[in-house]
Amino acid sequence: MKHTRAPLWWQMLRTGVTAARAGESGRTRFLALVMATVVAALTGAAFVASAATFDARETRGQARNPVMAEHGQQPKALWSRYWDSEQGRQYSVVIVWPLTADAPLPPGLPRWPAPGEAFLSPALAHAPADADFTHRYGQAVGQIGQTGLATPGERLVYTRPSQAMLNSSYLDPIVGFGSIGPSFGDLKAIESDRATQLNLILLALLGLPAAGLTVAAARMGAPGHDRRARLLAVLGANRAARAWMDFGAAALPVLTGAIAAAALVTPALFFNLTLPWINFTLAATDLRHAAGSLVLALAGAVAFVIAVTLLLQPSADRRTDIRVTEAGVLRRLALAACPAFLLLAVTTGPLLGGGQRSAFGYLFAVLGVWATLAPVIGWITARYASRMAAAAHRTGEPGRLIAARRLAAHPGAAVRLVATLIIAIGVIGQTQLISTLLYNRSDDNEYVGSARGQSMALVQAADRARPSSEFRAALPGGIHMVSLGHVNLSPDGSSSRRLIQAPCADLTALHLPCPAGHESPEVTTQHLDRRLRATTYAYFGDTPATVRTGPTARLDPEDTWLVVFTPDGSALDLPAIKRAARLTLSTDSVIRPLSEGNGSNILGLQARWIPFLGTIGTLYMATAMVFSSLSEFIRFARTLAPLTVLTGNSTIFRTTALWSLSLPITIAGAGGVAAYVVLAQPISGGSQGAQLSLSLCIELLVLTLVLAAVAAGAASLASKRETRQWRPRAD
């Protein structure tokens, strides 16, 4: 009976599946490829989620934009918006007043609020009770629906003033909602170019570590794969046949990883997912709309891991005694590219004031440095190994001689060992640098988080504001207030000095003179309360103050400027002050505590993304380091086992492990820290620049030495155990 032989590709595929189970480090490589596929898929999903979130928030943002009434159109409602803030985080408060029975509702509202009522977003409705959001803008009667929010966690308020407060601020006539153009709310606080910046950060902190983990997984058990490739080449197998075998060895773990990644991502399609630490909520609706892109990201992750596995397999004519001078094309490219990337990073220019192009160039150079530094370290180690071998030969140190010749003959082993450590140092270092850069560019200052920073606030209201006496009467007890104005006000808003006016008790509480009659003494800037100087610097600079005794009132032609404070530096009841200002002074009053400077701490809040993503990237690299080190330990142990049995010298374990593993790790740690210091220079310096952390440098160097010692000890123990199990066999 004639049997049909299976095609060659199918036989090679089955051979690869069998070899993966029975080969060197088979189970460990299986787990490593599963983890690499999961990580690659989750990284791709992060890019998809970022794009979907930015697109959806733009769509919902434009849907709630007001359509202004044109000349001759009958307005349907009145509309206005202003910023409020809580602990430095800005959010929008929208004032509405319907004019007709058929006025279209703002998206997300079930009905128009009645006079004195407000609708809050869930993030504000569920805020702590001491923030008093339920009464700050009137009586809260409901929540804004998801269709009216840019993101599920957005802070937003719709409020309708009382009849008495209707004319206390400016309201624009509108005919509906859905205007194309700039949006408000979180979309205003987080500019559109943040999408590009976030993708660059995702690439640096997640993409590069994911690639490092994939490379480490693909080269697990490399000696066994290399031997099979050379044997198949001798038997006549071409590159395509060997690729089928490699594909078979990786197919099952990659498929398992894809299934696991899909299981992790699927719940986010049905439930809103709140990310820990940064407290950002991903909308399940947005991810469902991007389900097709998520499937493509999963398929791309599978293709990426398979491609890396196939591309990193050795060529058929590769020898085992490769000298450094015969390095491959990729290594020579890395040796040339690494210093070029370093030069690009240094000469790109600082991120501050450098614009989007400067930021992109710097981050591109950073990625290039960390991606090419490992081959450079491997080359340095191998070059030094030849000299170390000569020295060991003269002194008669067998362990050092074996290690040196091994490093010189196999520089790729050193690269695999240190690549994950270098990328981990890069992720940690860039996380620290970008975090301090964003934090220093925010309005955080010495008063943030302190009671003194909450002891004074600047209140600003337009000329339609109601009398400040009503506001004073609504303030809690123990609070003082003075009014500010400009003296010799110029058309451009500048002034030669400021005017401070208040009753005598309030002036005395601020350590100011209490002049009688028409006297108006001048007080230099240095003699003003330090809190007052910091609170009003953006508007008055270092100008002196003219002090007058009188009632608190509007002193400028347009805006009303008031300062409320406690004399002893204790914290104000800011929710009560904000409620009093909105309900008695002006619906669009701006209340800015001393701790918030002249704006928002939004960059400081956005900076929390950096340690969040950096921590995930570091976990990726820690996983890669475990697999990479384990692979090298196993290879090291099996290489030394027969030599140790034949010589009977157990000391060789420690010395060979020390020089084979500890030396490359130590060089990599020092090189990684040096690269971190160099890459910090373009973005450090100045009050708004990043801060190079010397303590982090020391910690990374100490951690490197600890890892080097642990690696040497673990390899030595593995070698001893392998020696006890070793038996001569045909190879």
pLDDT at 218: 81
pLDDT tens-digit profile of 178-193? 998 778 876 544 555 5
Among 523, 530, 398, 516, which residue's Cα sits nearest to residue 456? 530
> Angle at which helices 222-234 and 411-441 pack, to 10 degrees?
130
pLDDT at 448: 59
pLDDT of 439 over the 70 cut: no
* pTM attached to this predicted model: 0.74
**Can you tell me which residue has the tokens 């040196």?**
404
- Core vs surface per residue 283-305: b (16+ CB within 10 A) or e: bbbbbeebeebbeebbebbbebb
H helix or E strand, kind and range, residue 140:
strand 139-143
pLDDT at 506: 94
Instruction: Name the β-bridge partners of 545.
Output: 498, 523
Contact residues for 481 (Cβ-Cβ < 8 A; gap 6+)? 468, 472, 475, 502, 506, 552, 562, 563, 564, 565
pLDDT of 679 over the 80 cut: yes
pLDDT of 730 over the 60 cut: no
Pairing outcome for strands 139-143 and 117-120: parallel
CB contact at 8 A, 118 and 160: yes
pLDDT of 355 over the 60 cut: no
Residue that wins the pLDDT comparison between 299 and 25: 299
Q: How many helices (H) and strands (E) does the chain have?
A: 24, 16
In the three-class reduction of DSSP (H, G, I as helix; E, B as strand; rest coil), residue 96 is classed as strand
pLDDT at 106: 95
pLDDT tens-digit profile of 542-565? 889 999 999 998 888 888 899 999
pLDDT at 187: 57
Range scoring the smallest mean pLDDT among 26-30, 200-204, 611-615, 628-632: 628-632
Residue that wins the pLDDT comparison between 227 and 436: 436
Give the pLDDT mean for 661-669: 82
pLDDT of 312 over the 60 cut: yes
- C-alpha to C-alpha distance for 565 and 455, rounded to whole angstroms: 6
pLDDT at 351: 47
pLDDT of 325 over the 60 cut: no
Residue that wins the pLDDT comparison between 311 and 600: 311
CB contact at 8 A, 599 and 443: yes
For residue 730 the two structure tokens come to 């045909």
Residue that wins the pLDDT comparison between 383 and 53: 53
For 545, phi and psi rounded to 5 degrees? -125, 135
pLDDT at 323: 39
Task: State CA 481 to chain mean position distance.
Answer: 41
Range scoring the smallest mean pLDDT among 395-399, 608-612, 661-665, 690-694: 395-399
Pairing outcome for strands 456-461 and 545-549: unpaired
What value does the mean pLDDT of the chain take?
A: 80
- C-alpha to C-alpha distance for 643 and 659, rounded to whole angstroms: 17
pLDDT tens-digit profile of 121-139? 999 999 888 888 999 999 9
pLDDT at 75: 94
Residue that wins the pLDDT comparison between 635 and 569: 569
pLDDT of 321 over the 60 cut: no
**Integer angstrom CA distances of residue 335 from 248, 418, 678:** 34, 16, 17
pLDDT at 562: 94
pLDDT of 315 over the 60 cut: no
Neighbours of 343 (CB within 10 A): 12
